[in-house]
Chains A and B, each alone.
Chain A
Amino acid sequence: MRRKATATGVRASALPTARWRPLEIVFWLLPVAAYFLFPRYLTLGSQIFIAGLFALSLDLIMGYARIISLGHAAFFGIGAYTAGLLARYGWGEPVSGLAAAAAVAAVVGLLTSFLVVRGQDLTRLMVTLGIGLMLYEAANQASSITGGVDGLSGVEMNKLFGLFAFGLSGKTAYWYCLGVLFIVFCFARTLVRSPFGLSLRGIREGERRMPAIGVSVHRKLIAIYTIGAGIAGVAGALLAQTTQFVGIDSLGFPRSAELLIMLVLGGAGYLYGALVGAATFMLLQDYLSNLSAVYWQFWLGLSLVLLVLFARGGLIGGTLGLRRRMMGKRT
């Protein structure tokens, strides 16, 4: 039942048309409108963009290549520490900092990808989890460099393009994060519509058959894992640069788990699902954890259980399914 649902879902959206649909344009105008409508919530806005970018990176490797990762925060943390350390030791230029973070995270992603793509689900799960925990321990022990559990402070950023300072108002950070998110999203959108993206979907649908038509499964998985790691690094770097602080929790398992929740909440394998899920998650978290942190965790767990039992495909998948059903009835 599940398999069939994904197969038809892919067919409906897999035709590689590069044209932007009206709904997509409306979607991207929302954050612009939010800037003017909610000027007091700009910091939360930046956080949502960062979470969205991070979820997007996981969507590429999990939604499109079906590699379950429990340690994706590793790359987020690497990016955050790279950008944070660069800025702390004098290189405060933001854009090159992002590029450096992406490069470092991608290299680590490439190196670990050889370990990850070898096994099956359970092995992958354990290996990604293990790599994440290893990095957490490493960052914890190397407290002279990373600040350990106290976090890395003293991150000072230069003006963006030499013009816009990262002030307390959060205006620069808002546009900076939104801009980076949009650029990376366009890249991902092109990527999944390219022949490379289609072969990834082929691997997702039938991993054993792909070699028969001349696709090197391992090489494709390594490539997408590396790209996903790099994008996660960018997200981490954005967080470090805009909050001017890197906490060790940016590497921790809870962050990887929250990320999975965001992606599943929105719906994996649509790109937009990652953004919708991240926004929903962050808004709910902002609202509910103000009431009580413990309650928040409870509702988080409950919603996850309910999502798996009743709403596979998340918000986007559910909406598409509903629309398809209505369209089916009409014809």
Chain B
Amino acid sequence: MIGNLIGVLFDGIAYGSLLFVISIGLSVTMGLMNFVNLAHGAFAMLGGYVCVVLMTRLGVPFLASLPVAFAAAALAGAALERTLYRRLYQATHLDQVLFSIGLVFMSIAGATYVFGSQQQPVQLPALLRGQVRLLGIDFGSYRLFLIAVVIAVTLALTWLIERTRFGAAIRASVDNQQASAGLGINVYRVFSLTFALGSGLAGLGGGLGIDVLGLDPTFPLKYMVYFLLVVAVGGAGTIKGPLIAALLLGVFDVAGKYYAPQIGSFIIYVAMVVMLLIFPRGLVGRRA
């Protein structure tokens, strides 16, 4: 029973970690430029397909395909930010929502056209496939690997934002765009770079997530709520907030599906609405 509980907790944390990697870029987009981007999942899907193509068609090993997924999604993010997203920073939230829903539809149709509507297979390396036995409980190696990746990503991001000059520019732009621009920070360049970084992380998450979340053309729509939820509940523009929210969501989702499969996802949505009503600015409000 206890072993079960720990297993569910562990799976939930692994799942939440994955959601965190994918969603953290969205936190920046919403927090920094106040842009409601429903198409964030499309970048994750792109990363996933890049991994699949590299592995199945070119025989690249899984681990080597992940950095490529990151780079491809980051490039796509930078290109779209420069050409399209930038025009809509000053637009209303409604326009941003419509624009990004349009992108979602296009990405779904595009992916269906190129890859077909079926689920994509993933071949994990032997090293990550088995179980690891710790204190009498079996842990999936791949899930351990996921958690390790997220710890690494979180540490790297925290270092980037807390310790580097670029990070200081991000924090300043988040706090007050006009004052930062007045101090000579090129806010738009900062945002381009962070948008690319966020898209890249989403792509990385998409590649990592093929085994856990699955990969088919409806991916951006299917998980849209989850990404939005992580950011809206956690608090846009922070790292800590989405991390807590993603882990909570992961644990509750896995536990719900395990213990109450009938009403599992129902509980998630109820919890989301309740959380949003209690904390309209997210768990870690940026401007308290």
Interface residues in chain A, defined as those with a beta carbon under 8 Å from any beta carbon in chain B: 2, 62, 66, 68, 70, 115, 118-123, 125-127, 129-131, 133-134, 137-138, 141, 253-254, 257, 260-261, 264, 294-295, 297-298, 300-305, 307-309, 312
Residues of B near A133 (CB, < 8 A) are 225, 265, 269
**Cross-interface CB contact of B102 among A118, A130, A301, A312, cutoff 8 Å:** A301
**Is the CB–CB distance between B232 and A308 below 8 Å?**
no
Note all chain A residues with C-beta closer than 8 A to B112: 294, 297
CB < 8 Å neighbour of B88 from A62, A122, A130, A308: A308
- Of A127, A134, A301, A309, chain B has the most CB atoms within 10 Å of the CB of A301
Our pick among A118, A141, A301, A302 for the contact of B263 (Cβ within 8 Å) is A141
Interface flag for B110 (CB, 8 Å): yes
Interface: B221 (CB within 8 A) = yes
CB atoms of A134 and B106 under 8 A apart: no
Given the interface pairs A131-B273, A141-B262, the reply to whether A308 lies near B93 with Cβ below 8 Å is no
Number of A-B contacts (CB under 8 A): 124
The reply to whether B272 and A264 form a contact with Cβ atoms under 8 Å apart is no
Write the nearest CB–CB distance from B117 to chain A, whole angstroms: 8
Write the nearest CB–CB distance from B92 to chain A, whole angstroms.
Answer: 7
Q: How far is the CB of B176 from chain A (nearest CB, A)?
A: 19
Picked from A120, A125, A127, A295, the residue with its CB within 8 Å of the CB of B109 is A295
Q: List A contacts of B236 (CB < 8 A).
A: 122
| Residues B263-278 near A (CB distance < 8 A) | 263, 265-266, 269-270, 272-273, 276-277
Q: Cβ of B84: which chain A residues have Cβ within 8 Å of it?
A: 305, 309
13 residue pairs bridging A and B, Cβ less than 8 Å apart:
A121-B36, A127-B273, A129-B228, A137-B265, A297-B108, A298-B113, A301-B101, A301-B109, A304-B102, A305-B84, A307-B102, A308-B88, A309-B99
**Docked-complex contact B98 and A260, CB < 8 angstroms:** yes
Complex Cα spacing A123 to B272, Å: 10
| A127/B93 contact (C-beta < 8 A), A122-B36, A133-B269, A302-B106 known | no
Given known contacts A2-B91, A122-B36, A126-B229, is B280 in contact with A134 (CB within 8 Å)? Answer: no
Shortest Cβ gap from B49 to chain A (Å)? 16
Q: Is the CB of B273 within 8 A of A305?
A: no
* Minimum CB distance partner of B272 in chain A: A130
Q: Identify which of B104, B263, B266 gathers the most chain A CB atoms within 10 Å of its CB.
A: B266
Docked CA distance A296–B273 (Å): 33
Nearest-neighbor residue (CB-CB) of A121 within chain B: B93
B60 to chain A, nearest CB (A): 28
Q: Which A residue's beta carbon lies closest to that of B111?
A: A294
CB distance from A327 to the nearest CB of B (A): 27
Cβ-defined contact, A298 with B110, below 8 A: yes
Q: Interface centre among B221, B228, B229, by most A CB within 10 Å?
A: B228
Within 8 A of A (CB), among B66-114: 84, 87-88, 91-95, 97-99, 101-110, 112-113
By beta carbon, the residue of chain B nearest A297 is B109
Q: Is the CB of A308 within 8 A of B280?
A: no
Residues of B within 8 A of A (CB): 30, 36, 84, 87-88, 91-95, 97-99, 101-110, 112-113, 221, 225, 228-229, 232, 236, 262-263, 265-266, 269-270, 272-273, 276-277, 280
Chain A residues with CB under 8 A of B107: 301
| Given contacts A126-B228, A302-B106, A308-B99, A119 and B280 within 8 Å (CB-CB) | yes
Contacts of A126 in B (CB 8 A): 228-229, 232, 272-273, 276
Q: Are A115 and B273 in contact (CB-based, < 8 A)?
A: yes
A121–B35 alpha-carbon span in the complex (Å): 11
Q: How far is the CB of B190 from chain A (nearest CB, A)?
A: 22
Set of chain B residues within 8 Å of A134, measured between Cβ atoms: 266, 269-270, 273
B276 near A264 with CB under 8 A, answer: no
Which residues of A lie under 8 Å from residue B95 when comparing CB positions? 308, 312
Of A119, A122, A129, A137, the residue contacting B30 (CB under 8 A) is A122
Given contacts A141-B262, A295-B109, contact A127 B97 (CB under 8 A): no
Given the interface pairs A297-B108, A298-B109, A300-B105, the reply to whether A115 lies near B277 with Cβ below 8 Å is yes
Using known A-B contacts A123-B232, A134-B269, determine if residue A260 contacts B280 with beta carbons closer than 8 Å.
Answer: no
| With A126-B228, A129-B225, A137-B266: A260-B101 Cβ-Cβ less than 8 Å | yes
A141 and B266: CB pair below 8 A?
A: yes
> With the chains together, A261 CA to B102 CA distance in Å?
9
Residues from chain A with a CB closer than 8 A to the CB of B99 are 304-305, 308-309
Bound state CA distance, A2 and B36, in angstroms? 18
Say how far A281's CB is from chain B's closest CB, in angstroms. Answer: 13
Q: How far is the CA of A70 from the CA of B30 in the complex (A)?
A: 18
Measured in the bound complex, the distance between the Cα atoms of B225 and A125 in whole Å is 11
Q: Is the CB of A301 within 8 A of B276?
A: no
Residues from chain B with a CB closer than 8 A to the CB of A254 are 221
Beyond A122-B93, A301-B108, A305-B106, list 19 extra A-B contacts (CB 8 Å).
A62-B94, A68-B94, A119-B277, A121-B36, A123-B232, A126-B273, A126-B276, A131-B273, A134-B266, A257-B105, A264-B98, A297-B108, A298-B105, A298-B110, A301-B101, A301-B104, A308-B88, A308-B99, A312-B95
